[in-house]
Amino acid sequence: MMKRISVSISKHLTSFSVEQEFIDELRVIAKTRKKTLAALVREIDETRAPEQNLSSAIRTFVLKNKI
């Protein structure tokens, strides 16, 4: 099931939609790195390719971190 999450990135509210399993894993990664979810999403947002949307970048990031 898709879940919509809103986070503040550089004082700008940003929303993305991904499956609950990706949210769960993203929270685990954030906790492991001692970062907030918003800080990790900001990092992903800042490093994604310009043509890649944020939801896709988050999925790719989670998958790369699970391999």
The total domain count for the chain is 1
By the 10 Å C-beta count (0-12 exposed, 13-18 middle, 19+ buried), 22 is classed as buried
Residue 7 lies in a domain: no
Residue 9 lies in a domain: no
Residue 2 lies in a domain: no
**What range defines the domain where residue 37 resides?**
19-66
pLDDT tens digits for range 5-60? 999 887 889 999 999 999 999 999 999 999 999 999 999 999 999 999 999 999 99
Residue 12 lies in a domain: no
Helix, strand, or coil (residue 27): helix
Residue 5 lies in a domain: no
Residue 1 — very low, low, confident or very high, per pLDDT cuts 50/70/90?
Answer: confident
Q: At what angle do helices 20-32 and 37-47 cross, to 10 degrees?
A: 100
Please state the pTM of the whole predicted model: 0.91
